[in-house]
Structure formats: C-alpha cells, structure tokens
Structure 1
Amino acid sequence: MQDAHVLLPDMSGCLSTLPGNVSRVSYFAVFDGHGGARASRFAAENLHHTLAKKFPTGDAENTDKLIKRCLLDTFKQTDEDFLKKASSQKPVWKDGSTATCVLVVDDMVYVANLGDSRAVMCRMEAAADGQKRSVTLALSKEHNPTIYEERMRIQRAGGTVRDGRVLGVLEVSRSIGDGQYKRCGVISTPDLRRCQLTPNDRFIILACDGLFKVFSADEAVKFVLGVLQEGSEEKGAVQMEEERRFEAACQQLASEAVRRGCADNVTVILVSIGY
C-alpha cells in the first residue's frame, strides 16, 4: 500500500494566525506513491505544515492571489525537501507520488494537483421537470505523458515518451519525488483550480487513480448519491445520521472499485459540504 491521505476539517491548529477576512480553513489530500511509499508518506506528513508556514496572514486584500502563490511555493518546497532527503540516502530513494490537495477557505475551494489522482464535486441543479439533477464538476486536471503539452515539455527537456510513459517507465508527467526523472521534464508545479461553493453543492470526492480506473467521475458521484439516498430512506430505524451515511457511501465506493476488479490501491476521501 503506497497511498497516503490527510483529513484536516479544521486546519486552524496548524496556522499561527488566520488572515483577518478568513474564518475557517480545511485541508484534505490524497497521495498515491510509486516506487515505494516514502514520497507519499513524506508529502502527507509535511505538505500541510509547509502550507501553514507560507499561508497569508494579516488583512491582505489580495488573499486569493496569495493563497495560489502559497500553494505553488508549498508544492515546490515539499518536492525539494523530499528530493534532498532522498538523495542523501544510501542507496538513493527513487520513490515518487501524485498529490491532490483540496484547501477550503471559507466558501472558496482551491485544488492543487500533480499526476493522476483526482478531485470531483457533486452540484445539484434544477432540471426542466423541476427535479434536481446532479452535475459532476472536475476540480483537478490529470497529468500524464500522453497529453500533448506534457509530452512536448518532456521532449524539450530531452526525455522520451514510450508506451504512454516517461522513458517507457513513469506513468505520470508531474509528481513529488521521482528524482531520476526531473531532468526529463517531470515537474512538481501543480495545476491550480478555484471554485466557489454554493448551497447546491453536496460533496467532493478525492481519490487516487485506483478508483477512476473502474469508475468514471460521473458514475462515482451517482454511486455516492445512491448510497446517501438509501441511508436517508431507511425504514424502521431513525434515519442514519449524515456523518454515518457519508462514511457508508465512502466505504461502499472503495469496496465497489475493488469488486469491479481494480488491482491498484484504492484511497477515497468523501468530503460532505454543509453550506
């Protein structure tokens, strides 16, 4: 098992002070390691502490811009710190990891990701017949060497893409760690997305590619909605509390991925949105 994950529904304990215009910060992350579990474990243990140190303070007017800069700097620092540690080992560590981090600052969601772990959000919208329908919003972008821009960067750096992999080996084109591929155009600059929460938003799914190999994003959202619906309609007993329903939906989604034949690790975080 080379995955790692972090759940910090209230991150204020890690932050020295919050900016004056911010009342709550939450952080959720999934890291899918390859070549060993050391890069994913290092990122899970350190990335949010580095983020906390770089997080904007005071009454900054351009908090949005500062948070984005903070996320970019945090990923760069985490990668550099791990590579420094990895290169000092005998033999040198060759581990790498994806990273998908969701930072919720009041009602604004920031997602920073590297590699092929993903974040998707379920938003309910009114349909023509008056019923509410779920819409699946992608909050992250996959980075693999078959994508044109990624392949071009790798080739410009002197690397090659064979069988959809960097040098025929590495499946992702951005990661933390993977020191031996950094000279081939594999970078640790995350894709950044921002999304404002609305009263129609239900939940966010964060998961490694083990889930998305056997579920499309839309299928995963509909599966979770189905389990939540069952929990709210349970006969005889008092309705399951919301927390237990989400716990059940998360467990069942991961179990179903395994049942469908996913041979990879499956890590799933389900974040309930209470607006």
Structure 2
Amino acid sequence: MVPSAAAPASPSSSSPPRRSVAFFAVFDGHGGGEAAQFARDHLWDFIKKQRGFWSRCDQEVCAAIRKGFVACHHAMWKKLPEWPKTLTGLPSTSGTTASVVVIRGDRMYVAHVGDSAVVLGVQDDPSVPFVRAAELTQDHKPELPRERKRIEGLGGSVIKKSGVNRVVWKRPRLTHNGPVRRSTVIDQIPFLAVARALGDLWSYDFLSGEFVVSPEPDTSVVVLDPRKHRFIVLASDGVWNMVPPQEAVTMCHNSHKDKSVRRVSSARQLVCHSLQRWRQRMLRADNTSAIVISLSCPGAVSAPLCHGEVLLDLSPSCSPTPRAPTPLIQVSPAPLIQVSPAPLIQVSPHPSHSGEPRPSHTGETRPSHSGEPRPSHTGEPRPSHTGEPRPSHSGEPRPSHTGEPRPSHSGEPRPSHTGEPRPSHQVTPPLSYR
C-alpha cells in the first residue's frame, strides 16, 4: 500500500504561465509490491510531461492524465525482467490500483483504475453541521456491463469464483514446453477482481495487441468551492470495506470541529478505526491506507497541525518546493489545504499466488493471493485481488453510500473527452507468460 504526494512542478520559460499544482495518490498493490512502487515513483512524472497537461482546457488536462497512466503502464514492460518471478517461474504478475487527485487552482482532477475510492465531503448548508459524502469514483469491477463488454471484446472473459467475478488469465498449462499451438491445453484461471489496473502484464492479449486489464483511467473534474467542499478522502478498499464513505467523512468532520483536543491526524484516525473493525470481526486486515485533504478558505486561521500533517498553500505566488516523501507543496486564491497522509503500509514485495503466507499489519500471518480465502464481513471467505475472491459485505457489488448497489456509469465504454479514439495499448512484450 503506497500513499503518495508530490510537489508542484516548476514552470519553464518557454511554456505558458503555470500555477502551482499538487498531486496525491494511493496505490494498492497485488501480486507483489513492484508495480505499486513503480507507479508511486514515476506516475506523476509521466502525467505532468504529457502535452496538454498545463492547458486551461479541462478536457485536454484529463486526456493528458489518461496518457500519463498508459505511459507509466508501458514503462513497466521494460522493468518486468528485473521484477521477481512467480514461484512457478513465470514473469511477475504484479499490479496495482491507482487513485489520483491533482489540484490546480480551483480545479480538482480525479483519475483512477481499480477499487481505491475517492470521496468528497460536501457541506451544502454552512449553518447545518452536516457534511455529506459524494463518491467521485466507481470501482472497476469485472461484472460492470461496460467492463465486461470491453473485456469480452478483447477476447477475454469473466468467471465468478466463490461469489466474486474475476478477469480470467488464459495461460498454457504449466507442464507445457515449446511453442503454443492449437492443440496446446490452455488453463482458464479466474485471477483478478478488478477490471482496470496498472501492471498486470499477464493480461496482454496477443491477438488484439491490448491489455484485458486496462491501464486507462476514468477521469473527472470538480470545481472546488472551499465554502462547501470540506474534505477529500483517498483510501484503499481495506478502509472502505470497513468504513462506509459517509462515516469516514463524518469522522473527518468531527475530528476538525474540536481543534483543541485533536491529537492525531484524520487519516491516522480513519486507518486505526478500520483496523479496529477488522480485529473486532476477527478477520485478517486487508492492506489499509488513506490520505485526507482538508480544505479551508483563503485567509482562514488553520488549526494546529498534528503529526504527519502539512499545510499546503497553492497560491500562484507560492514558490515550488522540492519533491519529498511527505507533501511539502502548497492550492490558489482558492483553498488552503491541510493534508494528513496515513502511516505508510508497504505491500509485501514477494507475495505468491500459490499459498505462501504473508504477515498481516498486526504480525499475524495472512494467506497469499491464492492461499486460503480471507473471510468476509459475514464470515464467508474473503479473498484478495488475485487469489480467492473477495466478496463484499453481502457477496454482491459494494453498495453506494445510499445503500443501493453501485450502477455502471452508462453500461457502455466511456468515450474520450476529446472525442478522439482512446489510445491503443499495443506493445511488444519483453517476456512471455507462455
């Protein structure tokens, strides 16, 4: 689990005037930590150097962010030979979710692949002390109509195993040697519980030249109003499986109401609360990480900072600060931002898909992606992304904060914001999984 934040980029003399920009991200790795660590270190660099990222047009910025995701994904091919192989000797199956928030002035750009959700806390009436949760992302689950249609259109398939739909890995039987022929026995392995991710290079389809597990994110734009937008929460599904979005936003609001007694950051409180619920249910905790961004109006008196919090001023006059593990960036005549990243929780660097145990956050051993299934909230088996399936609270897709099942956005693949065809993911693979 890798939360990330980066400093604003410095404008060059040949480019149009650029405002300070802040980058926040949460990466939830599976199949090893290599993809998550690579994305943490390089995704922001790939995004900000794309043509159109510094444009004043929101559609061009979103297109640049999508291209940055795909470029980062393709760069992983070159690193694949350096990543540890699986226990069966195949190239690494490492992948990661990626949920990104880029704030520039009063614009917030959200991009994500996978199921690490982003939630905005909105106070519609300043006289009413209630902050509602607005979910800005929808989990990329294989059972969504638009995702299933895309996967099957590329020659892939989705199979339900233990109540959870998974993208199938079509792999020649491990005992096979030599070239793959029509007579070669192909095993169909229900493998991944998310339809989009960075990495997961095993999903490359040689016939279509694209990845069945897509690296292209959904993107959206929010015009920030610090008078009503109070919090932005980025968290892995280890948090959201235990703490619903509305409860998370309420926790952040209550934490900031009484500034005199606040001792720990909102993100730390959120992570600790979710871990406590895992223990109460006597379950092995999933990887858990969160970033909480608190917005305030320009000129507002900020509360004393807790350990792990940094005050960010993103006004145009603010000088860019160097990249740092903890964000030292500062957004606009728009909001002042208080960021509280949760403690860094690293993904096990060499988890296997064949039953090797991994330590949990509490020191207990936890099964690998294909070991014994982890139980759900109801006591049913709850597998991870790439092992046995992880059902939701009821075995059905996780409900939204309203209690209704999350629908797909449109049931059809989303068009590009620019009206142009979405970029091709065709690459030449350096290694073969066959």
Q: TM-score, normalised by structure 1?
A: 0.85
User: Take 1:172 and 1:17, find their aligned partners in 2: how far apart are those partners?
Assistant: 42
Residue in structure 1 matched with residue 200 of structure 2 by the alignment? 178
Q: Is the 8 A contact 1:27 1:102 kept in 2?
A: yes
Q: Is the 8 A contact 1:86 1:94 kept in 2?
A: no
Asked whether 1:265 is paired with 2:259, we answer no
User: Take 2:66 and 2:214, find their aligned partners in 1: how far apart are those partners?
Assistant: 12
Change (3 A) 1:213 1:57: closer
CA displacement 1:79-107 (0-9 Å, x = unmatched): 00012321565742210000001000101
Q: Is the 8 A contact 1:110 1:193 kept in 2?
A: yes
Q: In the alignment, which of 235, 239, 259 is matched to residue 232 of structure 1?
A: 259
User: Take 1:45 and 1:18, find their aligned partners in 2: how far apart are those partners?
Assistant: 26
Change (3 A) 1:252 1:17: farther
Q: In the alignment, which of 29, 34, 45 is matched to residue 49 of structure 1?
A: 45
Q: Is the 8 A contact 2:108 2:224 kept in 1?
A: yes
Q: In the alignment, which of 178, 182, 193 is matched to residue 220 of structure 2?
A: 193
Q: State the secondary structure of the residue aligned to 2:130.
A: strand
Residue in structure 2 matched with residue 125 of structure 1 by the alignment? 124
How far 1:12 moved relative to its partner?
Answer: 2.5
CA displacement 1:15-74 (0-9 Å, x = unmatched): 54696454221100011000000000000000111122226478x5x5322211210110
User: Take 1:18 and 1:102, find their aligned partners in 2: how far apart are those partners?
Assistant: 26
Q: State the secondary structure of the residue aligned to 1:273.
A: strand
Residue in structure 2 matched with residue 69 of structure 1 by the alignment? 63
- Higher mean C-alpha displacement, 87-96 vs 216-225: 87-96
User: Take 1:216 and 1:83, find their aligned partners in 2: how far apart are those partners?
Assistant: 36
Name the count of aligned residue pairs: 256
Residue in structure 2 matched with residue 7 of structure 1 by the alignment? 5
Residue in structure 2 matched with residue 97 of structure 1 by the alignment? 96
Change (3 A) 1:51 1:232: same
Q: State the secondary structure of the residue aligned to 1:113.
A: strand
Change (3 A) 1:250 1:57: closer
User: Take 1:49 and 1:84, find their aligned partners in 2: how far apart are those partners?
Assistant: 17
Specify which structure has the higher proportion of helix: 1
Residue in structure 2 matched with residue 237 of structure 1 by the alignment? none
How far 1:216 moved relative to its partner?
Answer: 1.3
Residue in structure 1 matched with residue 399 of structure 2 by the alignment? none
User: Take 2:153 and 2:45, find their aligned partners in 1: how far apart are those partners?
Assistant: 34
- State the one-letter code of the partner of 2:35: A
User: Take 2:254 and 2:47, find their aligned partners in 1: how far apart are those partners?
Assistant: 35
Q: TM-score, normalised by structure 2?
A: 0.55
Q: Map 1:140-155 onto structure 2 (within 5 A).
A: 140-155=137-152
How far 1:156 moved relative to its partner?
Answer: 2.1
User: Take 1:124 and 1:19, find their aligned partners in 2: how far apart are those partners?
Assistant: 37
User: Take 2:84 and 2:96, find their aligned partners in 1: how far apart are those partners?
Assistant: 20
Please list every run of 5 or more consecutive structure 2 residues that lacks an aligned counterpart in the other structure: 86-90, 169-189, 206-210, 279-283, 297-334, 336-434
- Higher mean C-alpha displacement, 47-56 vs 145-154: 47-56
- State the one-letter code of the partner of 2:293: V
- State the one-letter code of the partner of 1:120: V
User: Take 1:30 and 1:90, find their aligned partners in 2: how far apart are those partners?
Assistant: 23
- State the one-letter code of the partner of 2:5: L
CA displacement 1:139-180 (0-9 Å, x = unmatched): 222101121111121122222222211122201100101011
Q: Is the 8 A contact 1:203 1:273 kept in 2?
A: yes
Q: Is the 8 A contact 1:4 1:44 kept in 2?
A: yes
Q: Is the 8 A contact 1:121 1:205 kept in 2?
A: yes
Residue in structure 2 matched with residue 113 of structure 1 by the alignment? 112
Q: Name which one, 1 or 2, has greater alpha-carbon Rg.
A: 2
Percent sequence identity is: 28
- Higher mean C-alpha displacement, 153-162 vs 137-146: 153-162
Higher relative contact order (CA 8 A, sep 6+): 2
Asked whether 1:158 is paired with 2:175, we answer no
